């Protein structure tokens, strides 16, 4: 019993000794912190997803008081941007909402699979292992690295075997974009409704052999919609979705260019 009391008193004494030292040091070594940082941190959603371009909400809050734009938080949206604007005494510019788009529709039926991949069920691993069984070296492998990377559940590998984004859930943080080993996923403004769903740089003949819906780089779409579509490295890309004519989409021999349905 005596030793218990002695133990408590000893630990208490040591604790008290250090508490005093730390308290004194805290007063002497205080760092001036802008109080607005705390207010901004309260307003930010705290997802620490990095979509704003800063590693974590705390760093974005620090950057804001140093002058960073207030409308960078995709998770919080305009609501948060306006709240931050109020704290900082500035006005919030409207945000262009971006979502991720998986630029590949080469699923199990449309694309050619030349071998069976038996290995770590990860896109990164399959990509390193001679392309994981898919003939097209640029296409979606469907092992779900992007699905696992998404903190919001916005991207899933569908039943046909390719990844698909739910634009109502996606907030454009860009984690899936970084995760995809083949760079198939890109962030596009949500209002861009015409996209080429292929990133294959193979020549037309090779691309067509590998997948029914590949972009063969024929340029027919670009001819029908001048200034709206560019063709680079055997692959078309929409630069101005509003100027793409219906004819471009109808004339595409493979159906690689798609006009998405209206937003719901």
Residues engaged in binding other proteins (CB under 8 A): 3, 6-7, 10-11, 14-15, 18, 21-22, 25-26, 29-31, 128
Q: Is residue 36 within 8 Å of 63, Cβ to Cβ?
A: no
Degrees (nearest 5) of the Cα angle 78, 82, 87?
Answer: 150
Closest separation in Å from C-beta 108 to other proteins: 27
Q: Which residues contact 236 (CB under 8 A, 6 or more apart)?
A: 196, 198, 215, 217, 219, 221, 222, 229, 230, 256, 257
**Alpha carbons 150 and 140: distance in angstroms, whole number:** 16
Q: Is residue 211 within 8 Å of 112, Cβ to Cβ?
A: yes
Long-range contacts of 63-68 (CB under 8 A, 24+ apart): 64/36, 64/40, 64/88, 65/34, 65/36, 65/37, 65/40
Which one, 137 or 245, has the nearer CB to other proteins?
A: 137
Closest separation in Å from C-beta 139 to other proteins: 20
Closest separation in Å from C-beta 29 to other proteins: 4
Q: Which two tokens stand for residue 53?
A: 């371009």
Closest separation in Å from C-beta 3 to other proteins: 6
Number of alpha carbons in the 13 Å side-chain half-sphere of residue 122: 9
Closest separation in Å from C-beta 22 to other proteins: 6
């Amino acid at each position: 019993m005596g030793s218990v009391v002695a133990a408590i008193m000893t630990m208490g004494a040591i604790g008290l000794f250090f508490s005093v030292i730390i308290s004194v040091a805290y007063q002497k070594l205080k760092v001036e912190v802008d109080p607005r940082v705390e207010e901004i941190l309260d307003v930010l959603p705290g997802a620490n997803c990095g979509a704003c371009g800063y590693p974590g909400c705390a760093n974005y809050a620090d950057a804001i008081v140093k002058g960073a734009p207030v409308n960078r938080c995709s998770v919080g949206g305009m609501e948060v941007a306006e709240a931050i604007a109020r704290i900082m005494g500035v006005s919030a510019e409207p945000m262009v909402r971006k979502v991720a788009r998986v630029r590949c529709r080469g699923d199990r039926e449309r694309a050619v699979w030349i071998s069976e991949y038996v290995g770590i069920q990860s896109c990164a691993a399959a990509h390193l292992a001679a392309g994981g069984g898919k003939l097209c070296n640029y296409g979606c492998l469907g092992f779900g690295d992007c699905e696992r990377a998404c903190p919001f559940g916005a991207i899933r590998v569908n039943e046909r075997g390719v990844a698909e984004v739910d634009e109502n859930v996606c907030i454009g943080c860009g984690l899936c974009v970084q995760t995809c080993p083949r760079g198939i996923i890109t962030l596009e403004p949500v209002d861009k409704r015409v996209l080429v769903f292929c990133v294959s740089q193979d020549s037309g003949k090779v691309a067509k052999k590998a997948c029914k819906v590949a972009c063969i780089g024929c340029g027919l779409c670009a001819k029908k919609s001048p200034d709206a579509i560019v063709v680079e490295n055997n692959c078309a890309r929409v630069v101005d979705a509003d100027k793409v004519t219906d004819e471009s989409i109808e004339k595409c021999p493979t159906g690689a260019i798609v006009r998405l349905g209206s937003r719901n």
